[in-house]
Structure 1
Amino acid sequence: MENQRVTFKKKNFTILVIYLNKIKFNYFKKFLYQKVQESPSFFKNIPIILNIESLFYSFDWIRVQDFILSIGLFLFGIIGCKDKNLKKIIFKTGIPILSESTIVMSRMYQNNTYNAYKKKSIDLSLSNLLSYKSDIIDYIIRSGQKIYSPNHDLIITNNVSSGAELISGGNVHIYGIMRGRVLAGVHGDMTKRIFCTSLFAELIAIAGKYLTIEQIPIKFLGQSVEISLVNNTLFIKDLK
């Protein structure tokens, strides 16, 4: 009976992957620091995987690791490491080196709907971000459709049409044009947020607090935004 108290179950998670593509450390440091400063609560203690497959120059692992930890990110592992000596150095610091086969890659990784920095050397697409298990939908949500995710984050990697409705007990992420009605934190959790790449929603709501499209400041329409509750009021800020 004692051994029945410990069970092993397989779970799938999606984690932010940062790609270092032929990039110098100083640029990587400046760019990543800027992204974290733009949305600190979004990145706080978020687990990440570092993909170094495309690096061709001497890689100072200790320097990179110290910087990542210093800005509040949690380094989950490394993929794409081909150098045997570098592998030994990374292993000594306690960070696992993973293979692609050990990671469940969501179709979000191939989605380019939101990739404002696709010409840069680092892929920090917010569509790769997930703090815990989520419901992921990659097709267009059409008028009249209702998507309900009571216990998870809801991630849409396509457009949401007028007349559609998204309801989530967690956060809502939309990597496409956001129309229709979008409700996050429907169980009353005021810490939940809405993230989208093009805001045209008919209604946005978090924990019962809402704004209609007529109440949304014009400067945010069509923009990439983060929506949260601040002092019991919906607060919208630009993600760019």
Structure 2
Amino acid sequence: MSTDSQQNDHHSPVLEFKSSTFSVPVLVLVSNDAITIEQQLQGKIHLAPEFFKNSPLVFDLQELNKHDLDIDVTELINIIRKLGLLPIGIRGGAAQQNQQALELGIPVHSGHSTAVSSGTQKQQTPEPEAATPEPQVVAETATLITHPVRSGQRIYASGDLIILAQVSAGAEIMAEGNIHVYGSLRGRALAGVQGNTEARIFCSDLQAELISIAGNYKISEDLNGAVLNQPVQIYLQNHTLVIKDI
């Protein structure tokens, strides 16, 4: 190779930074009791293990600090990691808490909107194009999403979830009630995530990576080819997922 070619190679860019949108759960703490935090967090993970498996997580200490409740950030991070979650940010921390997090390689996150909490959910209106790192959380009887759910997005509804467009591969949708998808369902769909065994999933075109009701799930490899690419309803019967044509 000539010297000129080598010089050109050195000056050619081999990387670039691009802005992008990533959706991660936010753990909002309202108690500093480490034992209770671990127990309740473990319970939520148990209800939807595939959703939370190796999931990145931002933890929010704003409510604790608002009520002068101190917490050992190192212990909290250890609990989160022990349960198989990956803490990637701290939010709402005091200066000392932020410093503790930084010393453990956890960056300080400056966002202010609220997402999933350890005990209760707080309302957040879905914004189709908003560049927010949290899942979209709503506290209504039914949540209507009219735009496609893109890969990497996570949507959580505390009631029923109705999606009038497709759910792309790599996307995750969760609801405490029923899920209705009137386009292709290619991502993950988890209904009845708080243990509602009566919840159902309805979709116009089943191509899902994972379907789950009240913690009972099947992955794509477990789905019968006869039900793929078909409009179906999915429900629990004797702790077994049943998939029927509509």
TM > 0.5 between the two? Answer: yes
- Unaligned 5+ residue runs, structure 1? 115-129, 187-191, 198-204, 228-232, 235-240
Distance 1:153 1:137, change over 3 A: same
Distance 2:36 2:154 in 1: 34
Q: Does 2:187 align with 1:170?
A: yes
* Residue pair 1:20, 1:50 contacting (<8 A) in 2 also: yes
2:46 to 9, 32, 37: 37
Q: Within the alignment, does 1:15 sit opposite 2:43 as a pair? A: no
What is the alpha-carbon distance in structure 1 between the residues aligned to residue 48 and residue 173 of structure 2? Answer: 18
Tell me what 2:211 maps to. 194
The 3-state SS of whatever aligns with 1:100 is: coil
Q: Give how far 1:64 is off.
A: 1.0
The Cα shift of 1:39 comes to 3.7
Question: How far, CA to CA, are the matches of 2:184 and 2:238 in structure 1?
Answer: 25
Paired AA for residue 136 in structure 2: M
Q: Number of residue pairs matched?
A: 189
Decide whether aligned partners of structure 1 residues 135 and 69 sit closer, same or farther in structure 2, where only a CA change above 3 A counts.
Answer: closer
Q: Is residue 2:227 matched to residue 1:210?
A: yes
Question: Which string of whole-angstrom CA distances, capped at 9 and with x for unpartnered residues, describes residues 144-185 of structure 1?
Answer: x6x334544264879766xx6331332235689756435453
Q: What residue is the counterpart of 2:74 in the other structure?
A: 62
Comparing 174-183 and 46-55, the one that deviates more: 174-183
Tell me if structure 1 keeps the 8 A contact 2:201–2:235: no
Q: Alignment partner for residue 152 of structure 2, among 133, 136, 142?
A: 133
Measured in 2, the distance between the counterparts of 1:88 and 1:135 equals: 29
Matched with 1:126 is: none
In 2, Cα distance between the equivalents of 1:58 and 1:160? Answer: 39
* One-letter amino acid of the structure 1 residue matched with residue 85 of structure 2: L
For residues 48 and 161 of structure 2, the distance between their equivalents in structure 1, rounded to whole angstroms, comes to: 27
CA contact (8 A) 1:185 1:207 kept: no
Q: Is the counterpart of residue 71 in structure 1 residue 94 in structure 2?
A: no
Partner of residue 230, structure 1 = none
1:95 CA drift (Å) = 0.6
Cα RMSD for the two superposed structures: 4.3
Given that 1:149 and 1:168 are in contact with CA atoms closer than 8 Å, whether structure 2 keeps it comes out as: yes
Write the distance in 1 (CA, Å) between the matches of 2:77 and 2:110: 19
Give the letter aligned to residue 152 of structure 2.
K
- Partners of 2:227 and 2:140 lie apart in 1 by 26
In 1, distance between residues paired with 2:224 and 2:105? 40
Preserved CA contact (<8 Å) 1:18 1:49: yes
The corresponding residue for 1:112 is 139
Alignment CA distance shift 1:209-1:58 (3 Å): farther
Q: Which residue is equivalent to 1:181?
A: 203
TM-score with structure 1 setting the length: 0.59
Displacement of 1:9 after TM fit?
1.3
2:151 touches 2:168 (CA, 8 Å); kept in 1?
Answer: no
Q: Which one-letter code corresponds to 1:32 in the other structure?
A: L
Name structure 2 gaps, 5 residues minimum. 1-8, 114-130, 142-148, 194-198, 215-221
Distance 1:217 1:48, change over 3 A: closer
Distance 2:172 2:75 in 1: 36
Aligned: 1:153 with 2:171: yes
Amino acid at match of 1:65: I
Distance in 2 (alpha carbons) for counterparts of 1:154 and 1:40:
13
Structure of higher CA gyration radius? 2
Secondary structure at the counterpart of residue 166 of structure 2 = strand
